[in-house]
């Protein structure tokens, strides 16, 4: 008789736990993508760009530095990716760079907008924690929907931009 009482109590507790978890899942606020923080004002090439000016279509933002070995390895793929998606869909941010960013841009043929974040404030606002290069994919509403770190392939970049 006592064993039966414990089983009923255990079942009742499990049922209550399941109901509580279900209710929390249904009642908890849905996670919306975070709004993309402001971009730096300083431009190395391509004029000033703002998050507001990018609204209306998906964007890929890449943080890089000219001294970064994975960034140099990825740079030709970034140039191919940018040519394949058209102007205005990719923005680069030279992050906390103490190298020669303009020489980097010429060497790899980057022709899309490149902004400068010499003090790393924009990178901090975008919560760069994984190192460079770092990719942020922003949807048409200006919300961050995807992140990637490390050197990416053209295929992966196209996939991630399409998913944004």
E strand segments, 13-64: 34-35, 43-45, 59-64
Q: Where is mean pLDDT largest: 5-9, 31-35, 147-151?
A: 147-151
Name the residue ranges covered by the structural domains of the chain. Answer: 1-30, 34-163
pLDDT of residue 73: 97
CATH architecture designation of domain 34-163: 3-Layer(aba) Sandwich (3.40)
* Nearest CA-CA partner of 36 in 121, 126, 115, 117: 126
161, 58 Cβ separation under 8 angstroms: yes
pLDDT of residue 16: 47
Condensed to tens digits (0 to 9), the pLDDT of residues 96-119 reads: 888 899 999 999 999 999 999 999
DSSP conformational letter for 44:
E
User: Quick check: helix, strand or coil at residue 17?
Assistant: helix
């Amino acid at each position: 008789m006592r064993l039966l009482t414990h089983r009923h109590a255990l079942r009742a507790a499990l049922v209550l736990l399941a109901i509580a978890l279900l209710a929390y899942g249904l009642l908890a606020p849905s996670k919306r993508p975070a709004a993309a923080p402001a971009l730096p004002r300083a431009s190395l090439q391509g004029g000033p760009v703002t998050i507001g000016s990018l609204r209306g279509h998906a964007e890929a933002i890449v943080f890089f530095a000219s001294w970064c070995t994975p960034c140099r390895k990825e740079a030709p793929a970034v140039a191919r990716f940018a040519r394949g998606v058209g102007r205005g869909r990719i923005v680069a941010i030279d992050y906390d760079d103490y190298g020669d960013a303009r020489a980097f841009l010429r060497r790899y043929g980057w022709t899309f907008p490149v902004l400068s974040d010499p003090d790393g404030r924009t990178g901090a606002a975008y919560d760069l924690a994984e190192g460079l290069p770092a990719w942020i994919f922003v949807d048409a509403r200006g919300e961050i929907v995807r992140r990637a770190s490390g050197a990416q392939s053209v295929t992966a970049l196209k996939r991630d931009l399409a998913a944004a």
